[in-house]
Amino acid sequence: MSELEKALSVEEEPVRTAKAGLQRRVRWDWFRERLLLYAAVSVGSILGSVLRALASLAALGWFGPGFPWGTLFVNIVGSFVIGFYATITGPDGRIFAGMYQRQFVMTGICGGFTTFSIFSLEAFQAFHAGEFALAGLYVGISIITWLASVWLGHSLASRLNRLGGT
């Protein structure tokens, strides 16, 4: 064994220990990041969903059960907010938001606030009750207003992004 090989073999053990330590560290960082992301989504989701439930209750109290105004309202507002926020915190955005903040607001709050399943159920229930016009109207109005509001939110944020100053 040459002098060089001897020197290398002596270093092998500490290098291996350091490598293993680094791998543990990387795994732990990955785990902690996942945990924090899921926590951010969960807390945001609770906030959005409780707000949605209250909005639906309020709409039911104000307008009665004839038309699902509550769900329509939350889906329109949620689409607007996600369009605005995604653009204002995007690559050319004037507001910086980190990964956790973006997941908290978009995946958590907006995702929890809006709902496709309850929308589908309401449309189906109207259809099932024989109210075909109401079902069709609800689906048609929903899809148009959702897409219009996400575009509106995005356009407003793009305009703000293009304004001078910081």
Partner 1 sequence: MQDVLHAVIWVALGSAFGGPARYFVSGLVGRHVGETFPWGTMVVNVSGAFVIGLIAAAATVDGLLPMPSAWQLAVTGFLGAYTTVSSFSLQTMALARDGQFLKAGGNVALSLVLCLSAVALGYGIGAFGLGIGSA
The answer to whether 133 and 63 are in contact (CB under 8 A) is: no
The alpha-helical segments, DSSP class H, found in 64-131 are: 69-88, 99-102, 111-113, 117-128
Gap between the Cα atoms of 35 and 21, Å rounded: 21
Q: Is 111 annotated as a binding residue?
A: yes
Whichever of 49 and 134 has its CB closer to partner 1, that residue is 49
> Least distance (Å) from partner 1 to the CB of residue 10?
43
Residue 65 CB neighbour total at 10 angstroms: 8
Find tokens 């105004």 and name the residue: 69
Which one, 9 or 125, has the nearer CB to partner 1?
125
Binding site for partner 1 (CB under 8 A): 37-38, 41-42, 44-46, 48-50, 52-54, 56-57, 75, 78-79, 81-83, 86, 103, 106-108, 110-121, 123-125, 128, 139, 143, 146-147, 149-151, 154
**Triad 30, 32, 33: Cα angle to 5°:** 65
Q: Any binding-site annotation on 114?
A: yes
Between residues 121 and 160, which has the closer beta carbon with respect to partner 1?
121
Please report, in range form, the residues annotated as the binding site for Na(+): 111, 114
Please report, in range form, the residues annotated as the binding site: 111, 114
